Structure 1
Amino acid sequence: MNNEIKIFEGNQICSIWDNEQEEWYFSVVDIVGALTDSKNPRDYWYRVKKG
């Protein structure tokens, strides 16, 4: 697997390439932070999953 940091609208998004599946996996918390401008994206994601 290959780890990389992607940039989306100035925000860093952690990603991993899986050679076996030939797919990228991205950090949901990083994406939530980029899309919502939340000060605490981990808490935001926790509440979304819970609801």
Structure 2
Amino acid sequence: MKHPQNLSIRFFDDREGRALWDETSAKWWFSVLDIIAVLTNQDDYNKTRNYWKYLKAKLKKEGSQVVSTTTQLKI
């Protein structure tokens, strides 16, 4: 698997979090699932993914516009 040159691995409390630099927009993009895994101290990818799915649905139901419709990036 080829990794992009602008991929950066960040560490949060000795856990990895992936970040990707976008030259065009001059922004860092972070993996939401990696951040959630760190914050919830969760090692199981499926549990982390389900947590994010539940949280997005809850925020949408509450009328929050924090979550936008975006394309999932491959990091």
> Which 4+ runs in 1 deviate beyond 3 A?
none
Fraction of identical pairs, as percent = 33
Aligned position for 1:33 = 37
The answer to whether structure 1 residue 17 and structure 2 residue 21 are counterparts is: yes
Q: 1 CA distance for matches of 2:35 and 2:22?
A: 19
Figure out how many residues of one structure are paired with residues of the other and give that number: 51
Q: Which has the higher strand share?
A: 1
TM-score by length of 2: 0.61
Could you list the per-position Cα deviations for residues 1-51 of structure 1 after superposition, in whole angstroms to 9, with x for gaps in the alignment?
711111111111011001111110000010001011134211111110111
Moved more, 36-45 or 7-16: 36-45
Q: Which has the higher Rg, Structure 1 or Structure 2?
A: 2
**Aligned residue for 2:57?**
50
TM-score normalized by the length of structure 1: 0.85
